[in-house]
């Protein structure tokens, strides 16, 4: 069996994702699809709109065969760490033949050429980069400008959009790990990531906004939700029902209050140990928490020309989970071996799992009650953060409380009904 690998967030799964799977399988002639999916928190530092099992079910209903979790210590980090962690896990499965990723550009070779330059960082490029950073802009912007100076505007344009940037990070990770996995990119379809405009291919942001708008205005909810009709690769009720039944619109308020309890009750210097905190940012974070009336206001009080919103949200999420710089560096080391946490599968996915068990080089987790016998102390520590993220997602953003759901929830077996362990 030839296996296609995808690293994704599916927050939520939409038509663009289904198109990527269909076109990638056709072009690569792969038979099965394995996805590494972000768990409770996304790469931009936000909690996902549905829990990870609900999102896994939607993916399985729309063409994915095996869904596994991308650990929090990779999924809620920089684009570089997100891509490197995902590629490291796919390499260790021993079964992935092709990695598919979306991009705004849609052509592989120029992206590959640029990725190799970003890996090697020629002296002239590093000089341009240093000059741009000294002007006070953020690192992503400085890198884009440095590439424009070094290679020209066309190459610089490849670093302007989020999917291109992530595509470059996948290619860098594959290059650094000397991976044998082949690559392909598919051009992003329809609306841009943040677009709210009508389109056959609604963006994830657009879908989330429609759902939240319907929840905020129940009198007009039916009309609002009609915007999703025929715009999803599954029945719209499969998304609307779990969202309306389970989503807690006050989640951001709980998140903010938890941050206040954590940060304002301690000395400001403990914030220095949080990933991505530098240049005295800890003082700005603490000051923003003292006065902000909501989470967005808190984030906006911290951002600057050099510190973008996504970095701030990742900092706050890492702080909430009490992940420190030393621990994250350990998990991101080349020598660290993670694990494969299974969220759901179909019959073909079971076959892929068997192949991973036979050929892979990492422990496979289906029951966390047994995980302590499979994992090293460092792997168990990584798993602790995944479970902590799940607990916070449940406490803040879900209507029903479920203590330690990671230890109670079995993987989704599609199309069979979801089983629940209560002991």
> Is 5 in contact with 98 (CB distance < 8 Å)?
yes
What rounded mean pLDDT belongs to the chain?
93
Domain range for 301: 251-326
Which CATH number does the domain housing residue 25 bear?
A: 3.40.50.620
Indicate left, alpha or beta for 279 from its phi (over 0: left) and psi (-120 to 50: alpha): left
Does 419 score more than 60 pLDDT?
Answer: no
Does 334 score more than 60 pLDDT?
Answer: yes
For 250-262, what is each residue's pLDDT tens digit?
Answer: 999 999 999 999 9
Helices marked H in 152-250: 153-157, 162-176, 204-216, 221-225, 237-246
* Percent above pLDDT 90 for the chain: 89
The whole-number pLDDT of residue 191 equals 52
Same domain, 318 and 349: no
> Is 101 in contact with 7 (CB distance < 8 Å)?
yes
Residue 374 lies in a domain: yes
Same domain, 155 and 299: no
Residue range 391-396: mean pLDDT, rounded: 98
The whole-number pLDDT of residue 339 equals 97
pTM (2 d.p.): 0.93
Same domain, 91 and 156: no
Same domain, 264 and 147: no
Residue 349 lies in a domain: yes
Same domain, 319 and 338: no
> Is 15 in contact with 232 (CB distance < 8 Å)?
yes
Residue 382 lies in a domain: yes
Does 136 score more than 80 pLDDT?
Answer: yes
Same domain, 66 and 166: yes
Domain boundary among 275, 299, 326: 326
Q: DSSP secondary-structure letter at 37?
A: E
The whole-number pLDDT of residue 420 equals 37
Same domain, 414 and 380: yes
Residue 199 lies in a domain: no
The whole-number pLDDT of residue 417 equals 42
Does 196 score more than 50 pLDDT?
Answer: no
Q: Cα separation of 77 and 42, whole Å?
A: 8
Lowest mean pLDDT across 186-190, 354-358, 360-364:
186-190
Does 190 score more than 80 pLDDT?
Answer: no
Task: Work out how many domains the chain is built from and give that number.
Answer: 3
Domain boundary among 326, 342, 369: 326
Residue 367 lies in a domain: yes
The whole-number pLDDT of residue 371 equals 80
Does 40 score more than 90 pLDDT?
Answer: yes
Residue range 290-309: mean pLDDT, rounded: 95
Same domain, 307 and 423: no
For 151-170, what is each residue's pLDDT tens digit?
Answer: 999 999 999 999 999 999 99
Q: For residue 95, give every residue at least 6 positions away whose Cβ sits within 8 Å of its Cβ, in sequence order, or none.
A: 3, 34, 352, 355, 356, 359, 360
Indicate left, alpha or beta for 120 from its phi (over 0: left) and psi (-120 to 50: alpha): alpha
Domain boundary among 291, 326, 361: 326
Same domain, 183 and 267: no
- The model's confidence at residue 413, banded by pLDDT at 50, 70 and 90, is very high
Does 418 score more than 50 pLDDT?
Answer: no
Residue 186 lies in a domain: yes
The whole-number pLDDT of residue 188 equals 81
Same domain, 366 and 339: yes
The whole-number pLDDT of residue 199 equals 58
The whole-number pLDDT of residue 393 equals 98
The whole-number pLDDT of residue 19 equals 95
The whole-number pLDDT of residue 200 equals 73
Same domain, 48 and 126: no
Smallest CA-to-CA distance from 389 within 323, 333, 344, 327 is with 323
Same domain, 172 and 66: yes
Residue range 27-47: mean pLDDT, rounded: 97
């Amino acid at each position: 069996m030839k296996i296609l690998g995808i690293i994704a967030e599916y927050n939520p799964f939409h038509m663009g994702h289904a198109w990527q799977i269909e076109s990638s399988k056709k072009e690569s002639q792969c038979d099965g699809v394995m996805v590494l999916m972000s768990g409770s928190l996304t790469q931009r530092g936000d909690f996902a709109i549905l829990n990870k099992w609900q999102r896994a079910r939607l993916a399985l209903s729309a063409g994915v065969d095996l869904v596994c979790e991308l650990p929090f210590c990779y999924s809620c980090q920089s684009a570089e760490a997100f891509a490197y962690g995902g590629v490291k896990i796919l390499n260790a499965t021993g079964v992935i033949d092709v990695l598919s990723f979306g991009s705004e550009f849609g052509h592989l070779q120029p992206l590959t050429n640029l990725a190799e330059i970003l890996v090697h960082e020629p002296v002239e490029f590093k000089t341009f980069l240093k000059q741009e950073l000294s002007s006070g802009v953020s690192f992503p912007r400085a890198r884009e400008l440095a590439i424009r100076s070094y290679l020209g505007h066309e190459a610089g344009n490849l670093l302007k959009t989020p999917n291109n940037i992530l595509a470059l990070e996948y290619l860098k990770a594959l290059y650094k790990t000397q991976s044998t996995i082949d690559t392909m990119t598919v051009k992003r379809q329809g609306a841009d990531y943040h677009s709210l405009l009508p389109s056959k291919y609604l963006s994830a942001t657009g879908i989330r906004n429609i759902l939240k708008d319907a929840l905020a205005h129940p009198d007009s909810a039916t009309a609002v939700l009609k915007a999703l009709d025929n715009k999803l690769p599954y029945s719209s009720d499969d998304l609307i029902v779990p969202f309306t039944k389970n989503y807690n619109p006050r989640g951001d308020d709980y998140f903010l209050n938890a941050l206040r309890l954590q940060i304002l009750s301690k000395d400001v210097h403990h914030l220095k140990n949080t990933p991505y905190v530098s240049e005295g940012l800890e003082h700005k974070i603490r000051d923003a928490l003292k006065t902000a009336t909501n989470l967005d206001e808190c984030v906006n009080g911290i951002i600057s020309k050099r510190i973008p919103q996504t970095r701030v949200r990742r900092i706050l999420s890492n702080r909430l989970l009490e992940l420190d710089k030393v621990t994250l560096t350990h998990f991101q080391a080349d020598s660290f071996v993670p694990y494969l946490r299974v969220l759901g599968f179909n019959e073909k996915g079971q076959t892929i799992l068997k192949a991973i068990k036979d050929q892979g080089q990492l422990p496979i987790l289906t029951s966390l009650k047994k995980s302590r016998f499979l994992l090293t102390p460092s792997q168990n520590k990584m798993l602790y953060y995944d479970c902590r993220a799940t607990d916070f997602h449940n406490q803040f953003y879900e209507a029903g409380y479920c203590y330690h759901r990671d230890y109670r929830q079995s993987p989704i077996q599609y199309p069979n009904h979801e089983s629940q362990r209560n002991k």
